Structure 1
């Protein structure tokens, strides 16, 4: 319950800050970075210790080959960080996330990640 209330409070705070600093791209970039950290902590960290290998990527039905998955993840990480010139970590994080892409396979087909990717669909 504490984690849930914490997440709700952080989300509301982020919304208020986004409204207050609407024109300040540096602050907005920091808020996006915080959202990425939150996403990693609550969704991805539990998966990091699982034993999924790159060999699990195939072109069979319902599976995504590694190159396609890397492209999606690269696009998603850039979408989160935005294109602010004040945010110097865009390329670094996109590359790092692609290198770690094998740990995200369990969530690739989940409704959470589908919703997450769809939230950026207007950017495609």
Structure 2
């Protein structure tokens, strides 16, 4: 179990490293928020489960379950709130991003795409 736990911990760290690279490489706040929210949900979960497998215990297991649950909920909500606040403050999308769905509900005869 120790080796598998170490592999999971390293895999989680690599996921978080890729999120950091995404912060530098992606073009606008919406892509960056998506990368960070997605990667933290998966990356931190892998790190926590891996560390639990390296040093298992009942109390540690309960803390890992609580931390993973809270992380999955808060990272998703945080990513959505970041993107929503960027839209409401008028932050522009990249020019090649289709943002017509944010214009409001479609009227009769409007092309939804």
**TM-score range with shorter-chain normalisation?**
0.3 to 0.5
TM-score (structure 1 length as normaliser)? 0.34
TM-score (structure 2 length as normaliser)? 0.37
Larger relative contact order (C-alpha < 8 A, sep ≥ 6)? Answer: 2
